[in-house]
Amino acid sequence: MCKTVTRLETDQEIIYMCPFSGAVKGKVLITNYRLYFKSSDAEGPVVLDVPLGVISRVEKMGGASSRGENSYGLDITCKDMRNLRFALKQEGHSRRGIFDMLFRYAFPLSHGLALFAYLNQEKFTENGWNVYKAMEEFRRQGLPNNKWRMTFINKRYELCDTYPNLLAVPFKCTEDDLRKVAAFRSRGRIPVLSWIHRENQAVIVRCSQPLVGMSGKRNKDDERYLDLIREANDTTKKLTIYDARPNVNAVANKATGGGYEGDEYVNAELVFLDIQNIHVMRESLKKLKDIVYPNVEESHWLSSLESTHWLEHIKLVLSGAIQVADKVSSGNSVLVHCSDGWDRTAQLTSLAMLMLDSHYRTLRGFQVLIEKEWISFGHKFASRIGHGDKNHADQDRSPIFVQFIDCVWQMTKQFPTAFEFNEHLLLSILDHLYSCRFGTFLYNCENARDQHDLRTKTTSLWSLVNSKMDLYLNPFYTPESGQVLYPVASMRHLELWVNYYIRWNPRIRHQQQSPVEQRYKELLALREEYLKKLEQLQLSDSSSSYQLTNSTTPNTTSSTASTPSQQYTHLQTPL
Amino acid sequence: MEFSDHIKTANVEDVVLRQPLHPPSRGTLCITGHHLLFSEREEGSSQQVLLLLRNIDAVEKRMSGSSGTITIKCKDLRVLQLDIPGMEQCLNISRSIETLSCLDNVSEMYPFFYRPTDLSLQDQWGLSTPEKHYTQMKELHERWRLSSVNKSYSVCPSYPPAVIVPNCIDDETLKKVAKFRQGGRFPVLCYYHRKNGMVIMRSSQPLTGANRKRCKEDELLLQAVIEDSDKGFIIDTRSSQQVHQARMTGGGFESKSFYNCWKRLHRQMERGKALQESLIKLVEACSDESHSVDRWLSKLENSKWLSHVQTALSTAGLLAECVERDGHSALVHGYEGTDCSLLICTLAQLIMDPFCRTLEGFLALLEREWVQAGHPFQQRCAHSAYSHARFQQESPVFLLLLDCVWQLWRQFPLALGFSEALLLRLANEVYASDYGTFLCNNDQERCALGVKDRTHCLFRALLRPAEIDYYSNPLYEPTELAIWPSVHPQSLQLWRGFFLRWTQLAHHLEEVQEEIRSMVIEWARVAQR
């Protein structure tokens, strides 16, 4: 793949304790990017190809004196819904080498080493770092205008160290206002514009919670600032504030200095969206993993699935986003926040934008959406994913971004023609969320990325994607701009994303969207071919003043035209 | 009695119709002997809703002041609401619907009156006959013959007049075997596997009774099926406990000591009432609009519908495995041999036989294995999930089959030549239809009423050029391989297209199918020029 891959450990005999096909003997190869295992069994070889970034925890199991077959070895917990177990011979500290290598290169940051993305020398025809330019995106939305202006107040990340350096704020507010508001918003994450509706000029504004505290502090500047946001849209009588949290959690946050907007915000109405925090989501996904890996729950599958609450959380996130989108499309500006405004808030704003703006449903538009609402606005990827960090039990870890991608997947299932990208893109994004092969999802905020020269020293995931766009395109896509997509957020219409969460189990037949996609693409390609042929024939025919378009006489084309049905059957299906 | 005797009020003006996916509309309601017709009377629109009364499963009326509301729950799971001015009119209408929607007399049903201009009663009824089927299956002729022992339906009232049996078994023997099998359903051939010459037979249970009666002829027949091969499998759709209990009421099973070449495998499949109750629970869960207590997944699980789907598919998989992988012949039966046996024989053929997966082959399969083989459609499909009537013989076995086929279709989206639209259409037609195909319980009854002369055949109608495109899978790509379904609960899905079809979402998905279809048709047109 690239020059800088270093081979670290090679050719050691090892047993992979495959939960599906039992103990498999083979050889393991570890580089600073991946763990590669291939069984020595020639027929139906078992292959494992695991980027080290996926590893969350490496443990030794059994000791030199443990009894029982295959009781001595390594246990690897992965971030992508699987665990790996290897057994070795109980002699001469056979596992020490592998363990040390894995431990060192799966968690480079804990060992003072660089993440693999900084060593990767891959070259692509496209440069993914050019996909998102904040100013270009604002211009696309029609900004700045007479109500909204751009500010560089955060150029050096002084106002808010987790925000991007270019922000859109109400035209009427001064830089001084912004500083005062920043003092009253958790971590200085002031309300700024995320998206503006082209026709009705209603906006989505995002921020963190106000620092109300136990004493119920007020801040006139914040109140006035929110009113400026409301005034910037003529049809907004009351600014709707969507607090993503459950009501009780918002109240509890007062104890730690946070809180929510009270009655003093006279021109605003507050709605709680009941979405749980990062800890609840982490535990929910953990429960889901328990029922799908290594063995899938058989006898009470649906009620077990229900008891993980994973789909219920998906439902709440989606229905929250639907409310946001609906408000905005009916000409009402909204403000969205949770506690810090980098988890649930990012989910809500980005999903609502995906519903409202068909641009984000294109392959490049979706990249922009992720770059903008997630990466630039400081979703703490590093903390949530724990890239290269050995502290697997870190309470900051949480699958918030996975949950967002799941919500997007649910939407693509419900609107199969509305998205330019396919499921493969979503799977690839999640794979590289962990892999550390690209710089895209590294660090918590732009400030940190700048300090580490991320964009000059690493490659973007979008370089890979945009160099091979064909792989990620949905052939069923039929662009329809201006249409708001409201997915059905009822449990009845949500499905578990089997192709992701249960993909390691070879016994589960996944819904085979891909062969359909594949087949459809083949048909499209054939059609193209025929259209081209036809064009050539028309060209050659017109030169001999022969009009093909009105011709009913069978000519030479008909003999080639009888073959498609044969070609049709020769196309291979991966059944 | 004339239909008009049941119709006190034939027309009502100013009725408001509320139906899923449409805004309410105002217009005229009209009741005829077989239909309910609503015509919108608003400017600039001429929407009409024509509903077969037979499609109505339950009627509920609610009076308030001088007007009333009738809620109509259909067998296709649609729920309509009619606001009718005038108390008397409302009562008349609801009474008419109640009576006319469940007429017992088959020859008064709509198929006997349906006369479309593009179909003629002189046309052949049905796609094939047992005779033709046998003639076409040349490979069979050496070892198998066509017997007309049942030509007057005297040996087995629910079998067609001609059946396929081993060559060496004569009609006299068959008559004796029939006496030993419930309802006279002696073992007959239903599938011949070309790849290895193995067969699937089906029958009803043997009447061994408490004192373990045996029947030499029955043993002989089964021995003739496996000939010189070492063994065959009997797939009994009951548990081993159930078959022992069955002996107490005169039924029973093939005991090892008398059928020593046959190995019995038991797979308990629910049928009858249990299945009907499962459907009712599922539909209840699907139409429950309360979002506050959302225990949807538990409700779905409690309905057990998906576990019935799972059992049916895995039993069919087992049957196909016996034949295709192990290379043995098999006999399938449960009690009467008119429900679960047909279900798994049909599914096994879809799994193994590429021809059954074509549109035409699938319809022919349904004709052979359900219509001709005597699935009692009239009894099973008299009512569906909404009816308040006390259930007698109702059971959604055929709907379960369609669901299982849909699961196959979903897991192998390219391997089946027909579309989901076909399965949906069949799910409607089996409960209420313009065609005679699903009338009556068996061939004998159909002949007695002249169904084949006086009604049109659905299967032929579906294969008309105007319809065939709609019911074909545009991405179909035949494969010779068996299609083994995965039966893990994670691989099975609720058939949303049917059970949740009256929600907005089902429409988007239909649109996609439409998109693909038009794309492929366009492509074909380009290629033809």
Q: Which of residues 266-295 of B touch A (CB under 8 A)?
A: 286, 291, 294-295
Q: CA-to-CA distance for A74 and B258, rounded, in angstroms?
A: 56
A270-297 as b/e: b if 16+ CB within 10 A: bbbbebbbbeebbebbebbbebbbeebb
pLDDT at A509: 64
Model confidence pLDDT, tens digit, residues A338-373: 999 999 999 999 999 999 999 999 999 999 999 999
Backbone φ, ψ for residue B131 (5° rounding): -60, -50
Q: Which residues contact A467 (CB under 8 A, 6 or more apart)?
A: A124, A125, A126
Nearest CA-CA partner of B418 in B434, B430, B435, B406: B406
Across chain B, mean pLDDT equals 91
Average pLDDT over residues A11-24: 87
- Beta strands of A108-256 (E only): which ranges? 148-151, 167-170, 192-196, 203-207, 239-243
**Segment B354-377 mean pLDDT:** 97
Residue B194 has pLDDT above 70, yes or no: yes
What is the per-residue pLDDT for B427? 97
d(CA A38, CA A16): 9
pLDDT (tens digit, 9 = 90+) per residue, B379-421? Answer: 999 999 998 877 789 999 999 999 999 999 999 988 999 999 9
For residue B505, pLDDT over 70 is answered with no
CA atoms of A413 and A497, how far apart (whole Å): 10
Q: Average pLDDT in the A509-531 region?
A: 72
Decide: helix, strand or coil at residue B287: helix
Question: Peptide bond before A416: cis, by omega within 30 degrees of 0?
Answer: no
Q: What is the largest distance, in Å, between two alpha-carbon atoms of chain B? A: 79
Query: CA A102, CA A33: separation in Å to the nearest integer?
Result: 10
Question: Do B503 and A515 make contact, defined as CB atoms within 8 angstroms?
Answer: no
Chain mean position to CA B149: 27
Q: What is the pLDDT of residue A556?
A: 33
What does the pLDDT read at residue A475? 85
The model's pLDDT over B145-178, given as tens digits with 9 standing for 90+, comes to 999 999 999 999 999 999 999 999 999 999 999 9
Predicted pLDDT at A250: 95
- Give how far the C-alpha of residue A365 lies from the chain's centroid of Cα atoms, to the nearest Å: 13
CB contact under 8 A, A417 and B415: no
Which chain A residues are within 8 Å of B412, Cβ to Cβ? 512, 575
Instruction: Among A301, A314, A504, A536, pick the best mutation site for testing chain B contact (most B Cβ within 10 A).
Output: A301
C-alpha atoms less than 13 angstroms from C-alpha of B473 in its C-beta half-sphere: 25
A530 close contact with B: CB closer than 8 A: yes
Residue B490 sits at the chain A interface (C-beta within 8 Å): yes
Give tens-digit pLDDT for A390-420.
Answer: 999 999 999 999 999 999 999 999 888 899 9
> What phi and psi, each to the nearest 5 degrees, are found at residue B84?
-115, 125
Q: What is the mean pLDDT of residues B487-510?
A: 84
Which pLDDT score is estimated for A548?
Answer: 35
Tell me the torsion sign for CA atoms B469, B475, B478, B484: negative
Residue A320 has pLDDT above 90, yes or no: yes
pLDDT of the residue at A547: 37
- Kindly tell me if the per-residue pLDDT of B479 is higher than 80: yes
Residue A237: is its pLDDT beyond 80? yes
- What span, in angstroms and rounded, lies between the C-alpha atoms of B310 and B304? 10
B527 has pLDDT over 80: no
Q: Which helix or strand (DSSP H or E) is residue B91 part of?
A: helix B87-101
DSSP-derived letter for residue A510 is P
Contact A515 B298 (CB under 8 A): no
Q: What angle do CA A86, A89, A90 make, to 5 degrees?
A: 110
Coil, strand, or helix at residue A396?
coil
Residue with tokens 């013959």: B145
Whether the pLDDT of residue B293 is over 90: the answer is no
The pLDDT of residue B292 is above 60:
no
Query: In this predicted structure, which of A227-241, B309-323, B501-515 has the lowest mean pLDDT?
Result: B501-515
Cα distance from B266 to chain A (closest Cα, Å)?
Answer: 19
Of A312, A476, A534, the CB nearest to B512: A476
The whole-angstrom distance between A311's CA and the closest CA on chain B is 10
What is the predicted pLDDT for the residue at A482?
A: 77
Q: What is the pLDDT of residue A536?
A: 79
> Shortest Cα distance from B26 to chain A (angstroms)?
28
- Separation between Cα atoms, residue A528 and residue A130, nearest integer Å: 31
Token look-up 């759709």 returns: B237
Q: What per-residue confidence (pLDDT) applies to A558?
A: 33
Helix (H/G/I), strand (E/B), else coil: B386: coil
Q: What is the ipTM of this complex?
A: 0.88
Query: Average pLDDT of chain A?
Result: 89
Q: How far apart, in whole angstroms, are the C-alpha atoms of residue B190 and residue B199?
A: 8
Residue A80, token pair as written in the block: 């992508």
The answer to whether the beta carbons of residues B182 and B468 sit under 8 Å apart is no
Say whether pLDDT at A280 is over 90.
yes
CA distance B87 to B63: 7
| C-alpha B57 chain-centroid distance | 17
The beta strands (E) that lie in A296-383 are given as 334-337
Q: What is the pLDDT of residue A511?
A: 55
pLDDT in tens, B215-229: 999 999 999 999 878
Give the C-alpha separation, A463 to A124, whole Å: 6
The verdict on A536 touching B (C-beta cutoff 8 Å) is no
pLDDT at B228: 76
- Percentage of chain A beyond pLDDT 90 is 73
B522 to chain A, any CB pair closer than 8 A? The answer is yes
- Window 459-488 of A: residues touching B by CB (8 A cutoff) are 476, 478, 488
For position A97, what pLDDT does the model report? 87
Contact A516 B524 (CB under 8 A): no
Structural tokens at position A549: 């378009």
The two beta strands, A148-151 and A83-87, are unpaired
What the block records as the tokens of B394 is: 């109702």
pLDDT at A516: 75
Q: Does the pLDDT at position B270 exceed 70? A: yes
Query: Which among A417, A530, A571 has CB closest to B527?
Result: A530
- Can you give the pLDDT at residue A560? 32
- The predicted structure's pLDDT at residue A573: 29
Residue B161 near residue B150 (C-beta atoms within 8 A): yes
Residue A66 has what pLDDT?
79
Is residue A7 over pLDDT 90?
no
The confidence score (pLDDT) of residue A476 equals 84
Report how many helices (DSSP H) and strands (DSSP E) chain A contains, helices first.
20, 14
Would you say residue A247 has pLDDT above 80? yes
Query: What average pLDDT score do residues A74-88 get?
Result: 94
Residues 293-322 of A with CB under 8 A from B: 296-298, 300-303, 305-306, 311-312, 315
- Which pTM does this prediction carry? 0.90
> pLDDT tens across B422-446, in order?
999 999 999 999 999 999 999 999 9
Q: Between A508 and A277, whose confidence is greater? A: A277
Active-site annotation of A, residues? 338
Q: What pLDDT band is residue B524 in, cutting at 50, 70 and 90?
A: low
Check CB contact under 8 Å for A306 and B295: yes
In this model, does residue A9 exceed pLDDT 80?
no
Judged by CB atoms closer than 8 Å, whether chains meet at B529 and A414 is answered as no
Name the residue of chain B whose CA is nearest to A548's CA: B529
- A159-213 pLDDT, tens digit per residue, is 999 999 999 999 999 999 999 999 999 999 999 999 999 999 999 999 999 999 9
Instruction: Please report the pLDDT score of residue A561 as a whole number.
Output: 32
The A residues from 400 to 459 touching B (CB cutoff 8 Å) are: 414-417
